[in-house]
Amino acid sequence: MNATIPQRSAKQNPVELYDLQLQALAGIARTLSREQQIDELLEQVLAILHNDLGLLHGLVTISDPEHGALQIGAIHTDSEAVAQACEGVRYRSGEGVIGNVLKHGNSVVLGRISADPRFLDRLALYDLEMPFIAVPIKNPEGNTIGVLAAQPDCRADEHMPARTRLLEIVANLLAQTVRLVVNIEDGRDAADERDELRREVRGKYGFENMVVGHTPTMRRVFDQIRRVAKWNSTVLVLGESGTGKELIASAIHYNSPRAHRSFVRLNCAALPETLLESELFGHEKGAFTGAVKQRKGRFEQADGGTLFLDEIGEISPMFQAKLLRVLQEGEFERVGGNQTVRVNVRIVAATNRDLESEVEKGKFREDLYYRLNVMAIRIPPLRERTADIPELAEFLLSKIGRQQGRPLTITDSAIRLLMSHRWPGNVRELENCLERSAIMSEDGTITRDVVSLTGVDNESPPLAAPLPEVNLADETLDDRERVIAALEQAGWVQAKAARLLGMTPRQIAYRIQTLNIHMRKI
C-alpha cells in the first residue's frame, strides 16, 4: 500500500483540476480493463484516487445481502493495522454515513466530518476536521450494491461538487466489477455462491492465470478451450485422475458468454442413483419421505449457465437413459411431478474412464456417448508434459504460500527431482507433495531432501523423458547443487559423476558425505 500524500496547492485552478480528473479517469478505466483479481483492481483504483487526486483513505464497500449489510471490499490506507482491522467491519443499512448511502442510494457530502452526528468513525481512519464524500455504486436496475467513499485532502471549497461528480463517475465504472461479487441467486447456499463468484471473477479475466502450462499439448488444450467456450456445445473432458478436468471445465464456463450465470457441478459417482436423480432434476413437495418442500435440482440451478457432470462414466444404464432425454430435448420432470420443466443449460462432462471402450463393452450407451462427445478435450497426464513442472511448481507453491502466509521457494535440484517422478496422481499429487514439502520446510525453502522425504525419491523406474541439462561449469551453482546435478546426469553412478566433475571417486564420495547428499536408489 503506497500512501505518499501528494502536495496540493491550497487553491486549485478549475482547468487544472479538470485535467487531473480526466487523466485519473483514463487511468482507472485502464486499470479496470486489466486481467486481475477483483480486490487488487479495487485497490489500484483507490490508489489512483489517492495519489493523483488527493482523495484519501478510499474505501469500497460491497453489499452482502446475506447479512443485510455492507462489507469492506477494498481500502486504501498506509496502515497495515487499519487494513486488517477493517476485515470484519460491516455497516448495516441506515447505520452511519455509509449505511445511509446504502439505504437511500444518494451521495452524502460532509464539509467537516466531526460536524455530522451520523459519522461513526468505526475505522478510526479519517481526519475529523476534513470533508468526506460517499457515493452509491448501483447496478443497472438502480439498486445500490455498494458504496465508494474517500476523504479530500483539503478543506471544503468550491470544488467539492466536482470531486463528488468524479467519485460518482468512478462508482459507475466500478459497478460492473462490483456487480460480479454480489449477484446472489435464490435457493443457493450463500457461502458457496460467494466462493463461486470469486472464482467467477477470477475466471472472467482469462484462464491463463489459473491454468498453468506451456507445452505444446497444453497449448492445444488452451486453444480448444478458447474455441469451444463461446458456443453452447457439450464438451467432454477426458484425462486421468488429477490432471485438471474440473479446472478446465470451469475455465470453459468462465470464458463463455454464460460466465455471469451459475457454474453448477455434480459428481455423479458420489450419490446413489435415487438421490442422484432428485439432486439433478429436483423434486416436488411430498415426492418421497423427507421431501417437505419443492426443491430445484442442479439442472434448474444451472439454467442459463453451465452444468458440470463429473465422473459421468460411473452412471447406471437407467440413469444414462434419463440423462439422454434431457440432453436431447432440454426438458425433464422433477421427481414426483408431472410438470415438464425446460432449461437452457450447457453441459460439460468429465471422466477418467475410456468411454469408448465402455461403449464397446456395452456398459455405456452409444447414443449418450455421441451426445456428450460433441467436442472432446483430452488432458495429457503430467508425465507427458514434464516441461510444465517447473512452472506448475512455482504456481502451486505461491498458492500454498498464500495459505501458509509466508513466501516459499524451491531449489533447482528439487525441481529436477520433481521432473523425474512419474506422478500417477498427476497435478493433484504434485500439489499434495508440495504442500507436504512446505509443511516440512522450516525456512520456506523446498530442497531436494525435503521433497524426497515425501516419498518422491523412492521412485522406480525413472522417467524416460530427459531432464534439462545442467551446465556443471555454471559459476552460480553452489557446490551441493553441482554435485547433485552431476549425479543426476550420471544416473546416480558415483564414478561417472566424478568423471563429469573432474574428481576422483574418492573425492566425490567425500563430497557426498560432507554435503549430506542422500543417494538415490538405482
| Site residues, ligand ATP (CB under 6 A) | 211-213, 239, 241-247, 352, 392, 395, 427-428, 431
Nearer to Mg ion, 246 or 356 (CB): 246
Q: Which does 247 bind (CB under 5 to 8 A by kind): Mg ion, ligand ATP, none?
A: ligand ATP
Q: Does 314 bind Mg ion (CB under 5 A)?
A: no
Q: How many beta carbons lie within 10 A of that of residue 406, not counting itself?
A: 12
The C-alpha R_g of the chain, in whole angstroms, comes to 29
Nearer to Mg ion, 246 or 333 (CB): 246
C-alpha span between 430 and 438 (Å, rounded): 12
Q: Which does 301 bind (CB under 5 to 8 A by kind): Mg ion, ligand ATP, none?
A: none
Q: What is the footprint of Mg ion within residues 234-253 (CB under 5 A)?
A: 246
Q: What is the footprint of Mg ion within residues 121-160 (CB under 5 A)?
A: none
Task: Give the nearest distance from C-beta 323 to Mg ion in angstroms.
Answer: 18
Q: Which does 281 bind (CB under 5 to 8 A by kind): Mg ion, ligand ATP, none?
A: none
Nearer to ligand ATP, 51 or 243 (CB): 243
Nearer to ligand ATP, 92 or 199 (CB): 199
Closest residue to ligand ATP using C-beta atoms: 244
Phi-psi region of 288 (alpha: psi -120 to 50; beta: other; left: phi over 0): beta
C-alpha span between 184 and 186 (Å, rounded): 7
Q: Which does 96 bind (CB under 5 to 8 A by kind): ligand ATP, Mg ion, none?
A: none
Task: Give the nearest distance from C-beta 212 to ligand ATP in angstroms.
Answer: 4
Q: Which does 58 bind (CB under 5 to 8 A by kind): ligand ATP, Mg ion, none?
A: none
Contacts with 173 (C-beta within 8 Å, 6 or more apart), sequence order: 25, 28, 29, 32
Q: Which does 490 bind (CB under 5 to 8 A by kind): ligand ATP, Mg ion, none?
A: none
Task: Give the nearest distance from C-beta 247 to Mg ion in angstroms.
Answer: 8
Strand intervals (E) in 205-336: 235-238, 263-267, 282-283, 295-296, 306-310, 331-333
Task: Give the nearest distance from C-beta 249 to ligand ATP in angstroms.
Answer: 8
Nearer to Mg ion, 51 or 306 (CB): 306
Task: Give the nearest distance from C-beta 366 to ligand ATP in angstroms.
Answer: 24
Terminal-residue alpha carbon distance, the chain: 52
Nearer to ligand ATP, 270 or 522 (CB): 270
Task: Give the nearest distance from C-beta 435 to ligand ATP in angstroms.
Answer: 10
Q: What is the chain's percent helix, strand, coil content, to nearest 5?
A: 45, 15, 40
Task: Give the nearest distance from C-beta 225 to ligand ATP in angstroms.
Answer: 11
What is the per-residue DSSP string for 85-136? HGGG-EEETTSHHHHHHHHH---EEESSGGG-TT---TT--S-TTS-EEEEE
Q: Which amino acid is at 430?
A: L
Identify whether the C-beta of residue 82 lies closer than 8 Å to the C-beta of residue 75. Answer: yes
Among 113, 117, 108, 56, which residue's Cα sits nearest to residue 82?
56
Nearer to ligand ATP, 357 or 471 (CB): 357
Nearer to ligand ATP, 166 or 268 (CB): 268
Q: Which does 164 bind (CB under 5 to 8 A by kind): ligand ATP, Mg ion, none?
A: none
Residue-level length of the chain: 522
Indicate the SS3 state at residue 144: strand
Nearer to ligand ATP, 403 or 460 (CB): 403
Q: Which does 159 bind (CB under 5 to 8 A by kind): Mg ion, ligand ATP, none?
A: none
Nearer to ligand ATP, 352 or 411 (CB): 352
Q: Which does 309 bind (CB under 5 to 8 A by kind): Mg ion, ligand ATP, none?
A: none
Nearer to ligand ATP, 385 or 480 (CB): 385
Identify whether the C-beta of residue 32 lies closer than 8 Å to the C-beta of residue 196. Answer: no
How many Cα atoms are found within 13 Å in the side-chain-facing hemisphere of 127?
15
Task: Give the nearest distance from C-beta 361 to ligand ATP in angstroms.
Answer: 21
**How many residues bind to Mg ion according to rule CB under 5 A?**
1
Q: How many beta carbons lie within 10 A of that of residue 52, not counting itself?
A: 16
Among 248, 400, 232, which residue's Cα sits nearest to residue 310?
248
Q: Which does 242 bind (CB under 5 to 8 A by kind): Mg ion, ligand ATP, none?
A: ligand ATP
**Ramachandran angles phi, psi of 111, nearest 5°:** -70, -35
Q: Which does 213 bind (CB under 5 to 8 A by kind): ligand ATP, Mg ion, none?
A: ligand ATP
Identify whether the C-beta of residue 445 lies closer than 8 Å to the C-beta of residue 480. Answer: no
Work out whether the CA dihedral 370, 376, 382, 383 comes out positive or negative.
positive
Task: Give the nearest distance from C-beta 393 to ligand ATP in angstroms.
Answer: 10
Task: Give the nearest distance from C-beta 190 to ligand ATP in angstroms.
Answer: 23
C-alpha span between 4 and 38 (Å, rounded): 23
Task: Give the nearest distance from C-beta 33 to ligand ATP in angstroms.
Answer: 24
Residues in contact with Mg ion by CB under 5 A are 246
